[in-house]
């Protein structure tokens, strides 16, 4: 039997203290995927921030048991989809990403908003993960406007 790091970690709700780290790591990965900083990457990062601030999605972190402030990774889901999963480079391939994914959804396959090299590697190893356009669209919904502000519905109707 193999002893894996994920067997000694807990998935917990992401505290607001983790949001800056989540935004920073997301922005860095999106820059890599998009080929550098650009308007789309900036908009998507702002959308992630809106989702966190409005608590429209479910944000979680994974940490060693008893050390809830030592985050090894994080994930964000909305409407049954996974928007993003991040695990620190030195802790990858130890089941943490899979544990985060399984904590966000029971869907099989797991629909993700971004098809990254790490997602492809997980799929290649047999994990039921797939790119899901509706997950990406859920993020893009927050790019455009975020959650409607109270009273703004009347302004739009006028």
Q: What is the pLDDT of residues 44-79, one digit of tens each?
A: 899 999 999 999 999 999 999 989 888 999 999 998
Per-residue pLDDT tens over the stretch 72-100: 999 999 988 899 999 998 888 888 888 99
| pLDDT bucket at 38, cuts 50 / 70 / 90 | confident
Q: Exposure of 158 by Cβ count < 10 A (0-12 exposed, 13-18 middle, 19+ buried)?
A: exposed
- In angstroms, how far is the first alpha carbon of the chain from the final one? 66
Question: What 8-state DSSP symbol labels residue 34?
Answer: H
Topology (CATH level 3) of domain 5-145: Aminopeptidase (3.40.630)
Q: Would you kindly state where each structural domain of the chain is located, as residue ranges?
A: 5-145
Query: In Å, how far are 2, 58, 119, 149, 157 from 84, measured between CA atoms?
Result: 27, 11, 10, 25, 34
**Which pLDDT does position 98 carry in this prediction?**
87
């Amino acid at each position: 039997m193999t002893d894996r790091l994920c067997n000694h970690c807990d998935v917990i709700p992401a505290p607001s203290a983790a949001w800056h780290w989540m935004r920073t790591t997301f922005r860095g990965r999106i820059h890599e995927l998009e080929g550098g900083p650009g308007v789309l990457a900036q908009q998507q990062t702002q959308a992630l921030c809106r989702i966190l601030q409005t608590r429209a999605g479910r944000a979680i972190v994974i940490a060693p048991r008893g050390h809830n402030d030592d985050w090894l990774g994080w994930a964000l889901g909305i409407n049954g989809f996974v928007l993003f999963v991040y695990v620190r480079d030195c802790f990858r391939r130890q089941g943490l990403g899979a544990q985060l994914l399984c904590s966000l959804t029971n869907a099989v396959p797991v629909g993700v908003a971004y098809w990254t090299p790490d997602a492809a590697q997980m799929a290649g190893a047999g994990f039921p993960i797939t790119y899901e356009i509706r997950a990406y669209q859920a993020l893009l919904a927050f790019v455009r406007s975020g959650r409607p502000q109270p009273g703004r519905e009347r302004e739009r109707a006028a």
